[in-house]
Structure 1
């Protein structure tokens, strides 16, 4: 009891400020990549052609089945069911096409088989069908894996330093801003990266995945970049007209 019959209320404990930097590792881990690799059973590194093709055939069957059902049965559905059925089809078929893209990506890492010519053939066909320049991405993505996490040498998703952020960047540090950033990344991010190397490192001139003489590629890779470009043009020419 204090003067006047009032009780003194103890001050509430101050909440500790959250500092995300404390979660960032600042020392080397007690293991190396070589030790991690040695701990993985050797059979996990073996590539089996039949198993790889089984995944490809499985995805082809599902994609064909979805396409057959959509084109033969959706037009006869009573209204407004087609407006529900088609988005479901797009989502399901999109998952299968993403599997095709991932298989081609693994071909670029030569994880499909022990034969590089086979990996490049399968990867080129799948990526070209999905409007992705196979050899261009193969070489730029290889540089990305060789320099992941490096602010100076990484090839994609290079984080900006705080001093390099634009004035409006702080206004996107909220749920709505992050939603807009993710929406832009999922719709425009991929073509902008291929065309203008968005989120990539700075170069002396335009770094484009379709330019055989761009700074991303070496002299011995230029012929294959031409092959990727020819494949893209062929895919565009096969689109239905009118």
Structure 2
């Protein structure tokens, strides 16, 4: 039997859940925000982007030109420091491209999409694909039926092995997988995403996530990611997989960590 105190706390929690419309609208909230906050500035937007690019380039230059000169113990400390710092800076670049998807970078949609496509592709994100699914996420945030990502499972849908992961070791394993592979698995296979009839992937133009008007841009997104993958392949062929992984791969994992 469930203790009476537990039932009482659950009842009180349910009573605190808002069940009525708030006494204000989204329009009221927008009116309360100073108008200058809605003004897009191309110089300011590019200043943030260029600043991040300069910082990331400086980190790359230091790593490629000076880390090999460090005595052995210091190099073991230098690389983790590089990964953390570069991952944080590249997360900033990712966020700027994300804002392009929200048409917040400039007043020109073509400029936003161009900048977003370039820099999301650099971080192996299919720009238009995610732009459209992310827009629907904002339209349906918190919905068990229509939200696009991090849709919580109902108790009846939890797999049989779930109870064996509900312990410190199991949670550590699941968090490790989520922080390292969660983002690419969501993009590639819709893991933790909204259930669809048919194969749902941000790289598949005919996925049920998209309508016919959007499918051409999914091809463009794929082309951008493939171009970057080819560039990484050429870099790895010339400099080695270890160099590519240390300079680009690990910072990208840091970016993915922040996203999930």
Same fold (TM over 0.5): yes
2:31 is aligned, of 38, 56, 69, to 38
Q: Which runs of 5+ in 1 are unaligned?
A: 1-13
2:120 is aligned, of 122, 127, 131, to 127
- Within 1, Cα distance between the matches of 2:167 and 2:185? 24
Pairwise CA RMSD: 2.0
Measured at CA, do residues 173 and 40 of structure 1 come closer, stay the same or move farther in structure 2, by a change above 3 Å?
A: farther
Quote the offset at 1:174 in angstroms: 4.0
Quote the offset at 1:231 in angstroms: 1.1
Residue 62 in structure 1 maps to residue 55 in structure 2:
yes
- Within 2, Cα distance between the matches of 1:100 and 1:21? 45
Bigger mean CA offset, 165-174 vs 221-230? 165-174
Quote the offset at 1:16 in angstroms: 4.8
**What is aligned with 1:8?**
none
**What is aligned with 1:136?**
129
- Within 2, Cα distance between the matches of 1:176 and 1:116? 47
Q: Which runs of 5+ in 2 are unaligned?
A: 241-260
**What is aligned with 1:108?**
101
**What is aligned with 2:206?**
213
Give the TM-score taking structure 1 as reference length: 0.88
Bigger mean CA offset, 167-176 vs 178-187? 167-176
SS at match of 1:168: helix
Deviations along 1:169-213, whole A, 9 cap, x unmatched? 233334443333221111111111111111112211110111111
- Within 1, Cα distance between the matches of 2:129 and 2:4? 51
**What is aligned with 2:76?**
83
- Within 2, Cα distance between the matches of 1:209 and 1:172? 29
**What is aligned with 1:5?**
none
Residue 27 in structure 1 maps to residue 19 in structure 2:
yes
Q: How many residues align?
A: 229
Measured at CA, do residues 204 and 15 of structure 1 come closer, stay the same or move farther in structure 2, by a change above 3 Å?
A: closer
Larger radius of gyration: 1
- Within 2, Cα distance between the matches of 1:58 and 1:153? 37
Quote the offset at 1:21 in angstroms: 6.8
- Within 1, Cα distance between the matches of 2:129 and 2:63? 34
**What is aligned with 1:225?**
218
- State the structure with bigger RCO (CA 8 A, min sep 6), 1 or 2: 2
Residue 185 in structure 1 maps to residue 198 in structure 2:
no
SS at match of 1:110: coil
Deviations along 1:148-187, whole A, 9 cap, x unmatched? 1111111111111111112232333344433332211111
